[in-house]
Structure 1
Amino acid sequence: MPVSFPSFPAAWYFEQPETRRQELIQALQTEGAILLKNFPLESSHSQLELFAQDLGNPLHEAHNLQGGMLCLIEVDQSTPYPAYANTPFEFELHTDCADQQTPPDTVVLQCEQKSETGGESYFLRLSTLLAHLSEDERSALQKPDFHFRNQKFPILSSTTSGWQIRYNRLYQEIHRQSLSQEVGEQERLLNQLDQKMRELREVFQLQTGDCWILNNKQNLHGRAEFEAKSLRKLKRIRLNLHI
């Protein structure tokens, strides 16, 4: 798969990142993401957790390590039904926690071990996608008619701080067997949306030691398929920024 340098800014990891907190937050709000190179790798995870706590309020989730803030993203062969992120399959462009009433605004992904082949990262700014949507498509995507587990939400929302998106096609696929004719039209709309996303997305390769920080409400991210035996490993923390 052809890869390129991402369009969002990159910087070398710096000591005492708390001294540049506002700079990082501004980059997330204006550029959508930032890549910190050479972030310290350590088995204790303490440096990454301290970094996340300085940026915002991390979410503690039951499926994380010891129910804390950090989740390991690697192939999990210990269960027949792992979380989708813990499979080697392609994960199309999405936002995290799309099924929650209030998704976190930021996702931190540290690459501890890159994939030998495959596993390229996807990125797409919402602003880029909006420029390629018709008024009818925007209007349809703002209707609170889309299934996210046992709830329905709009995919696009216009707020005082700008446009926001929540999206994970997997949730709509779960409900596909019970779709009515009206939702059949919705499925065609989502197929068109997915196609535009594939055409517009940026593709790049996370390197070992990269720390990718994303605005989760104004961007989408994903990854390409990779081999099941791959040692690819990421650490993930979801949080809400201190603003």
Structure 2
Amino acid sequence: METQDLLINYNWKQVLNHKKITEDLQLGNSLVIIKGFPPSDDELQSFISRLGMVLNEKRNNNGKAVFDVKIARRNHFFTSIANSNLIFPLHTDCADFDIIPNTIGLLCVEPADEDEGTNHFMFLNSLLKHLSEDEKQKLLNKKWKFRNQERSILEIENGNYKICYDRITMESFSQLAKTEIEELIHLDKLFKSLSFSIKLEKGDLILFRNDLMLHGRNSIDINSNRLIKRIRFTINQV
């Protein structure tokens, strides 16, 4: 399947049908891109509030909903991996939160140069096609530590699979056995083999399900002015 077949495109200058966009996101088998979105925190939060319940981030964003993803350091250390120039492997946002928001919005205000900062995505549906029933059961049954949470990588809710994965958090807050590290290395390779890439352009707002796919990005030059505005939310039921 071509990458363009996985995208649902809208334009900010159109009269946007919020119910239709919500329905697109509920299906979880495509990414929604809105072209020409204005670089405004208020506009972004107002738009997303019509799609679902916005998460105000207390941990690193002073309770604000819109977070600036850019290279930022404090006392010579990066404030987070999102705010670093490092590769961010495929993962679930907020894997260690009490309640994980099921949808993410990323607004490209200033893209990185050339191939830097390219976004990567992997659909859960693609993964399930490559797993045996035994492999699925193992991922459903084994619990991993995500900071103060214990969760399985796969979960079934109302008859539907969901995914939760963040190797950086899993390794940061647990002393993993050699066999467990090997298991995560194998999963990372599998996820990467099933992923596809999208280079966001200035004014692109991409919306995607956080529980039905994984996302990540390439590395960025340390002096890059790349700026992505991130907002997390749980979509309305329609």
TM-score where L is the length of structure 1: 0.89
Alpha-carbon distance, 1:55 to partner: 0.9
1:84-163 correspondence runs (5 A): 84-117=81-114, 118-163=116-161
Label 1:64 to 1:15 Cα distance change in 2 as closer, same or farther (>3 A): farther
* Aligned residue-pair number: 233
Runs of at least 4 residues off by over 3 Å: 3-6, 14-17, 63-66
Match in the other structure for 1:58 = 54
Range moving further from structure 2, 83-92 or 140-149: 140-149
Does residue 195 (structure 1) correspond to residue 194 (structure 2)? The answer is no
Contact preservation (8 Å) 1:112, 1:209: yes
Give the deviation of 1:240 after TM superposition: 1.1
Note the alpha carbon deviations across 1:74-109, whole angstroms, 9 max, x for none: 000234141110001111111110112320011111
More helix by share: 1
SS at match of 1:67: coil
Q: Map of 1:162-181 to 2, 5 A cutoff?
A: 162-175=160-173, 178-179=175-176
Which residue does the alignment assign to 1:230? 224
Alpha-carbon distance in 2 for matches of 1:8, 1:230: 27
Out of 71, 78, 88, the residue aligned to residue 74 of structure 2 is: 78
What is the Cα-based RMSD across aligned positions, in Å? 1.9
1:8 Cα shift? 2.1
Partner SS, residue 185 of structure 2: helix
Distance between the aligned counterparts of 2:161 and 2:141, measured in 1? Answer: 14
Q: Distance in 2 between matches of 1:229 and 1:147?
A: 34
- Cα distance in 2 for partners of 1:64, 1:6 equals 35
Partners of 2:53 and 2:234 within 8 A in 1: yes
Provide the rounded CA distance (Å) in 2 between the counterparts of 1:71 and 1:174: 23
Map Cα deviations across residues 9-39 of structure 1 (whole Å, 9 max, x no partner). 222124553xx11210111122342111111
For structure 2, the residue ranges without an aligned partner over 5 or more in a row are none
Aligned to 2:6: 7
Alignment of 1:203-218 (within 5 A): 203-218=197-212
- Contact (CA 8 Å) 1:56, 1:239: kept in 2 or not? yes
User: Percent identity over the alignment?
Assistant: 29
Q: Is the 8 A contact 1:144 1:152 kept in 2?
A: no
CA distance in 2, matches of 1:29, 1:151: 25
Mark the runs of 5 or more structure 1 residues left unpaired by the alignment.
Answer: none
1:26 aligns with 2:23: yes
Q: Secondary structure at the match of 2:47?
A: helix
| Matching residue within 38, 63, 66 for 1:67 | 63
**What is the rounded CA distance, in whole Å, between the counterparts of 2:25 and 2:63 in structure 1?**
27
